[in-house]
Chains A and B, each alone.
Chain A
Amino acid sequence: MDKVKSLINSTVRSYSQIFFSVNKIIGLIIFLITFIDIFTGICTLTGVLFINFLAKIFGCYKSDIDNGIFGFNAVLLSMAFTFEYKFNGIFLPIFFISIILLFLLTVYFQNRLNNKGLPFLTFPFLITYWIIFLSLGNVSFIEYQDKLIYLDNYQSKEQLSAIYNFVHCLDSLQLPQIVSAYFKTLSSVFFQSSVLVGLVLSLGILYTSRIAFSTTIIGFAAAYYWLILLGLDLNILVQNLQGTNFIFMAIALGSFFILPNYKSYLAVFFLAPIVVLFLITGEKIFNVFQLKTFTLSFSLVTILFLIFVKNRYTQNHFKLIAIQYYSPEKALYKTLSNAKHLKNTLIKKFEIPCWGKWKITQGYFGKITHLGDWANALDFSIVDKKEKTYMNYGEKTTDFYAYDKPVLASAEGYVYDITNNVNDNNIGDVDTENNWGNTIIINHMNGIFSQISHLKKDSIKVDIGNFITKDTQLANCGNSGRSPEPHIHFQIQLSPVKGSKTLAYPLTNYILYKNNEISLKTFETPKENDIISRIDVSKNLSEAFNLKPNSEIILRNEKDLDNAITWKINTDSYNNKYIKCEQTNSTVWFNYDGAIFSTYDFEGDTKSLLFDFYLATHKILLASYKNLKVEDFFPTMYFCNSFVLFFQDFIAPFGHFTKSKYISNSYSSDNIFSKEETIKSSVANVTFSKKLKERNFEIIVKDNKLKSLSINNKEKICKYIFD
């Protein structure tokens, strides 16, 4: 069964990959279009099956085969072949040999370009075609298609056939020139010049992706505009696949490899004339050999632009799509929603280096001493209700709230260096001689170090070489070095030398207190004057959500306790943790760092219980704060009305009028004993600030274990019990 499925997938997707998609509908449409000419259709199918067969027996990566990565060049090659050559005795061996060559070149280009993070596009097709054409193209035993030789004869003959009339039935319609040119350009991808084919293809693209559809229009319009502006012949668009260069380039750079936004659309517009230049130059060079350039311009411009986008010091304006979902919408929505979750891949997770509430008295680029190379540092101090850092008159160090408070490590590591020979200053004195005062440098490994300075003399509780965790007390806050009043100086650096250049690095998570409200911050750097604290993690919740790989979650519906739903927890090759439901073939990827549990991605059946779990546990703070609401949002395509989504897709690169919002709150009746804790979460689709759809969840955690999950969907409550 799996084999049949794999065969169908790999075949159909080989067709749909031409439009950068793995959607079966568009694949089938293309498949049918190739059968306008039976010979072309059969040859193309043979080519696809053969190259996928080769890829399979020679052990190529299965998911590449299944996604049609090997097949789409074969589709193009087979069509180019059958367009030009007649079937005869020698055609077949040459065809198979060229597919073998194509396969070898595909593997070669895939290897060469993928190493650099680039796609191989249609290069294997182009090179195979050129080699075959140059070597055998003029050999006598190869026969050209009659239609290429007896052009007029053939056309008049063809016009009599029923198929021809059907395919071209819309050509006579009085459409604006630009519209019919658009459809014809689309159809020219498959060596046709038919409005109907173009229309069907464009509907297919629209069905698979609204964004890709928009980009084809932009790409085509740009080409049309530039050709007119440059005074070139518009016929160039429908000859020898040349017009398709614009369509492909538009999909690739406007939405497929680069995150779609108005900038990527603009890029498409301004890259169109460059494609024109490449087209003309290519024609001139290749004409010498009587070669056709087909999709060369598209491939070169795309690679050129991708290399440009990748190799910049600052990755601004254009953002490459990191994980390819073969859907610009999905990629865009998921990238927007996952932006924060992806930061979980940061090498080190730093927390506030002290207990309780502290104020950032000097933040990054602070005006006092956080200047130049030392800009990315944080100063912590304690203030009272009146924002004063001291009690009484503030004449003695002991008057300052920060003084003598425990200072902790911010992440695990080894104590690398200790300075403990600087006396604490009296208030008002500043020791510029020993700038950093008493200091501890911690090696967090992976080349990251943290420095904590101005410590109290002789308060250091660790030794060089000690392994410490984020809860280890290092020393007490003091007033040594360039410190006019007691505070903690904290910085991250890439060198173990005291006072190295600082590195901007966010704190993993912290609680922010502002205007009597508390909020959770993740992967952010606190700003000056923020009052912040560590998260007071609840052991109960933290243990319950510590889902370990190679274990199972078993749930039963409260009303049907005999049937168990089993989910498996595992890790993939990138060490991403996921929960898989075999029955529905759905997967949820999750992060867990002890303080926050988040399900950051979902693939599969949105009607499954696992999808509800994904919705319910999108971001859960594993600590009990009564008034703290954790907010987040889902990729728009999840939990959205499909009608609304259709329109949202079109404008997604520019903005959102609909959002799937998430809110959760954890509250316990008891935080130090293993007691019951309740997590309430909800997801709501908000369109034009109107709530269209809502679902509420309640998860109960007891004795360090998940206890139950209740789903309230339109007043219908389902309760599942965890085994």
Chain B
Amino acid sequence: MEKLKYERPVITKLNTGCLNKFGTKTTLTPVLQIDGVPIKKIIKEYGSPCFVLSEKTIRNTYKTAEHIFKNYYPKVQFAWSYKTNYLNAVCNIFHSEGSWAEVVSSFEFKKALANGVPGDKIIFNGPGKTKEALLLAVENNALIHIDHYDEMYVLVDLLKEIKSKARVAIRVNLDSGIYPMWDRFGFNYENGNAWTAINKIFSHPELELVGLHTHIGTYILTADAYKIASQKLSDLALKIKEKFNKNISYIDLGGGFASANSLKGAYLQGSDTIPHFEDYARSISEGLLNAGFESSELPTLFLETGRALIDDAGYLLGSVLANKRLTDGRKAIVANFGVNILFTSFWYNHKISPAQEFSYQTEDVVLYGPLCMNIDIIRENINLPLLNRGDNLVVHRIGAYNMTQWMQFIETRPNIVLIDTKGAIHLVREKEDVTIVTSQERVPEHLKNFDL
């Protein structure tokens, strides 16, 4: 018989009243493997903490989304939002599934090019395009989504200078009933700004308007908002057809589809409240199909969904560093991963599972990260079994943003591995060490030596 695991003593408040019909058992289940690969094995080989990505989940999620959208609408094209996760391995999975690239900086643009995405399949978004970035985009015949007039002027001047043309779209912001309304990007629909911008574009022969773009917000919980957005963009497209006799090739509804993570402050769990791809697709298709386009002239629907396609595929594996009791009596756990690498814990109450078997006893704890910073709190309150130092934890749904927004702060960043569809593990980003960080540093000569 295996030696029983030591579990520290715990005091549980006895509640009078009816017994829980489910008994005293916890609903927590240990997560021992990802796609058939034991977590202990990954930790043993790649250390703790460690990010894990599931290729199978990425492909399945993408295929599901594509299948559903194509059932609702004849022409659909996804463009992978680089900022959500621009690990080359991840991008290439999406590109191999047929996704284009959506980038928001020349850094991302170069990354997409290096990944082998043809320049004309790159959508260039964002308010911060420099002249150099625009030149790169023009040279590669990318689709440039103009965010503001100054960008348009810079682009026109640039095109005149190099005697070239560019395919452009405009970013439109609009009231789709979502609060807060994101009006800091693009041209407003309701006040006519967008229409003025469109007219301006048509006055410049260097620019060819091929699309209309909006991005109504993030983690959108009401699919109807997309119907309103698609109606408003269709309205613009039809007006363009009427005035300029030009068919708009595509309507880009951006991203913003929610993932099943629970937002902080939400009463219900994310998985119970978020719309399904079906709901988003139905709303968007209703908006586009009923707008009044000729059936042979329907624009292609572009989607830049990031979060909803990748979040579920990412896991963070970590370990318990310490147990402690706080002054108010609450128990606390110090884990070896903090907000430096789990940036999204600022927004979400991440689901965290233990990675080994445990008894039925659980305890409410505060889960801290390892940083010597007061803000390093992963979960303010989470029910976990009684864990010992060295026990492992799995954080779920962390595929979006963490691997791009993470910080090299106090700690260096860990390994990222990918489990492929056959269950093989691949290291897709090697952990950093001190030399990686210091290699970029330059110490002035007079500071090189000191006597201490």
| Residues of A participating in the B interface, judged by any CB pair closer than 8 Å | 354-358, 382, 384-385, 391, 401, 404-406, 461, 469, 471-473, 533-534, 536, 669-670, 672-673, 675
| Residues of B participating in the A interface, judged by any CB pair closer than 8 Å | 60, 63-64, 67-75, 77, 118, 120-121, 167, 210, 249-250, 276, 278, 282, 285, 289-290, 295-296, 298, 300
Q: Enumerate chain B residues within 8 angstroms of A533, measured Cβ to Cβ.
A: 70
Q: Would you call B64 and A384 a contact (CB within 8 A)?
A: yes
Could you tell me the distance in whole angstroms from the C-beta of A232 to the nearest C-beta in chain B? 72
Ordered nearest first, which 6 A-B pairs have the shortest CB separation?
A356-B71, A471-B295, A356-B70, A355-B74, A672-B300, A405-B71
Q: Enumerate chain A residues within 8 angstroms of B71, measured Cβ to Cβ.
A: 354-358, 382, 401, 405-406
| 17 CB-based A-B contacts, threshold 8 Å | A354-B71, A355-B70, A355-B72, A356-B68, A356-B72, A385-B63, A401-B68, A401-B278, A405-B72, A406-B71, A406-B289, A471-B74, A471-B296, A534-B74, A669-B121, A672-B75, A673-B210
Could you tell me the distance in whole angstroms from the C-beta of B169 to the nearest C-beta in chain A? 12
Pick from B121, B285, B298 the residue with the most CB of A within 10 Å.
B285
Cβ-defined partner of A355 (8 Å) among B64, B73, B77, B120:
B73
Q: Would you call B60 and A385 a contact (CB within 8 A)?
A: yes
Q: Would you call B118 and A669 a contact (CB within 8 A)?
A: yes
- A612 to B295 Cα, complex, angstroms: 37
Nearest B residue to A472 by beta-carbon distance?
Answer: B295
Q: Enumerate chain B residues within 8 angstroms of A461, measured Cβ to Cβ.
A: 290
Q: Would you call A469 and B72 a contact (CB within 8 A)?
A: no
Contacts A356-B72, A357-B70, A670-B121 supplied; 8 other A-B pairs, CB < 8 Å: A406-B73, A469-B295, A473-B289, A672-B249, A672-B300, A673-B120, A673-B210, A675-B120
- A68 to B160 Cα, complex, angstroms: 71
Q: Would you call B210 and A356 a contact (CB within 8 A)?
A: no
Could you tell me the distance in whole angstroms from the C-beta of A380 to the nearest C-beta in chain B? 11
Q: Would you call A672 and B120 a contact (CB within 8 A)?
A: no
- A673 to B296 Cα, complex, angstroms: 15
Q: Would you call A404 and B282 a contact (CB within 8 A)?
A: yes
Q: Enumerate chain A residues within 8 angstroms of B167, measured Cβ to Cβ.
A: 673
Nearest B residue to A461 by beta-carbon distance?
Answer: B290
Could you tell me the distance in whole angstroms from the C-beta of B245 to the nearest C-beta in chain A? 16
Could you tell me the distance in whole angstroms from the C-beta of A401 to the nearest C-beta in chain B? 7
Task: Decide if the interface of chain A is mainly helix, strand, loop or mixed.
Answer: loop
- A401 to B295 Cα, complex, angstroms: 24
Q: Enumerate chain A residues within 8 angstroms of B210, measured Cβ to Cβ.
A: 673
Could you tell me the distance in whole angstroms from the C-beta of B435 to the nearest C-beta in chain A? 41
Q: Would you call A672 and B77 a contact (CB within 8 A)?
A: yes
Q: Enumerate chain A residues within 8 angstroms of B278, measured Cβ to Cβ.
A: 401
Could you tell me the distance in whole angstroms from the C-beta of B262 to the nearest C-beta in chain A? 19
Could you tell me the distance in whole angstroms from the C-beta of A144 to the nearest C-beta in chain B? 79
Q: Enumerate chain A residues within 8 angstroms of B67, measured Cβ to Cβ.
A: 356-357, 382, 384
- A556 to B64 Cα, complex, angstroms: 48
Q: Enumerate chain A residues within 8 angstroms of B75, measured Cβ to Cβ.
A: 536, 672
Q: Would you call A469 and B296 a contact (CB within 8 A)?
A: yes
Contact A670 to B296, CB < 8 A, known contacts A382-B71, A473-B289: no
Cβ-defined partner of B120 (8 Å) among A357, A405, A669:
A669
- A508 to B75 Cα, complex, angstroms: 20
- A55 to B210 Cα, complex, angstroms: 64
Nearest B residue to A675 by beta-carbon distance?
Answer: B120
- A48 to B295 Cα, complex, angstroms: 62
Nearest B residue to A674 by beta-carbon distance?
Answer: B249
Could you tell me the distance in whole angstroms from the C-beta of A399 to the nearest C-beta in chain B? 10
Could you tell me the distance in whole angstroms from the C-beta of A473 to the nearest C-beta in chain B? 6
- A385 to B71 Cα, complex, angstroms: 15
Q: Enumerate chain A residues within 8 angstroms of B118, measured Cβ to Cβ.
A: 669-670
Nearest B residue to A409 by beta-carbon distance?
Answer: B295
- A406 to B282 Cα, complex, angstroms: 9
Q: Enumerate chain B residues within 8 angstroms of A673, measured Cβ to Cβ.
A: 120, 167, 210, 249
Could you tell me the distance in whole angstroms from the C-beta of A470 to the nearest C-beta in chain B? 8
- A391 to B276 Cα, complex, angstroms: 11
Q: Enumerate chain A residues within 8 angstroms of B63, measured Cβ to Cβ.
A: 385
- A357 to B64 Cα, complex, angstroms: 11
- A675 to B210 Cα, complex, angstroms: 13
- A476 to B64 Cα, complex, angstroms: 20
Could you tell me the distance in whole angstroms from the C-beta of A489 to the nearest C-beta in chain B? 17
Q: Enumerate chain B residues within 8 angstroms of A472, measured Cβ to Cβ.
A: 295
Could you tell me the distance in whole angstroms from the C-beta of B437 to the nearest C-beta in chain A? 40
Nearest A residue to B282 by beta-carbon distance?
Answer: A404
Contact A670 to B120, CB < 8 A, known contacts A356-B67, A357-B67, A385-B63: yes
Could you tell me the distance in whole angstroms from the C-beta of B147 to the nearest C-beta in chain A? 21
Nearest A residue to B167 by beta-carbon distance?
Answer: A673
- A534 to B278 Cα, complex, angstroms: 20
Could you tell me the distance in whole angstroms from the C-beta of B243 to the nearest C-beta in chain A? 21
Nearest B residue to A473 by beta-carbon distance?
Answer: B289
- A472 to B294 Cα, complex, angstroms: 9
- A530 to B71 Cα, complex, angstroms: 16
Could you tell me the distance in whole angstroms from the C-beta of B412 to the nearest C-beta in chain A? 39
Could you tell me the distance in whole angstroms from the C-beta of A390 to the nearest C-beta in chain B? 11
Pick from A356, A401, A404 the residue with the most CB of B within 10 Å.
A356
- A675 to B143 Cα, complex, angstroms: 14
Q: Enumerate chain A residues within 8 angstroms of B120, measured Cβ to Cβ.
A: 669-670, 673, 675
Could you tell me the distance in whole angstroms from the C-beta of B442 to the nearest C-beta in chain A? 43
Could you tell me the distance in whole angstroms from the C-beta of A655 to the nearest C-beta in chain B? 42
- A391 to B121 Cα, complex, angstroms: 33
Nearest A residue to B302 by beta-carbon distance?
Answer: A672
Could you tell me the distance in whole angstroms from the C-beta of B143 to the nearest C-beta in chain A? 9
Q: Enumerate chain A residues within 8 angstroms of B300, measured Cβ to Cβ.
A: 672
Nearest B residue to A669 by beta-carbon distance?
Answer: B118
Could you tell me the distance in whole angstroms from the C-beta of A392 to the nearest C-beta in chain B? 9
Q: Enumerate chain A residues within 8 angstroms of B73, measured Cβ to Cβ.
A: 355, 406
Q: Enumerate chain B residues within 8 angstroms of A536, measured Cβ to Cβ.
A: 74-75
Pick from A469, A472, A673 the residue with the most CB of B within 10 Å.
A673
Could you tell me the distance in whole angstroms from the C-beta of A407 to the nearest C-beta in chain B? 11
Could you tell me the distance in whole angstroms from the C-beta of A98 to the nearest C-beta in chain B? 65
Q: Enumerate chain B residues within 8 angstroms of A382, measured Cβ to Cβ.
A: 67, 71
Q: Enumerate chain B residues within 8 angstroms of A471, measured Cβ to Cβ.
A: 74, 295-296, 298
Could you tell me the distance in whole angstroms from the C-beta of B247 to the nearest C-beta in chain A? 10
Nearest A residue to B285 by beta-carbon distance?
Answer: A406
- A354 to B68 Cα, complex, angstroms: 12
Q: Enumerate chain B residues within 8 angstroms of A675, measured Cβ to Cβ.
A: 120
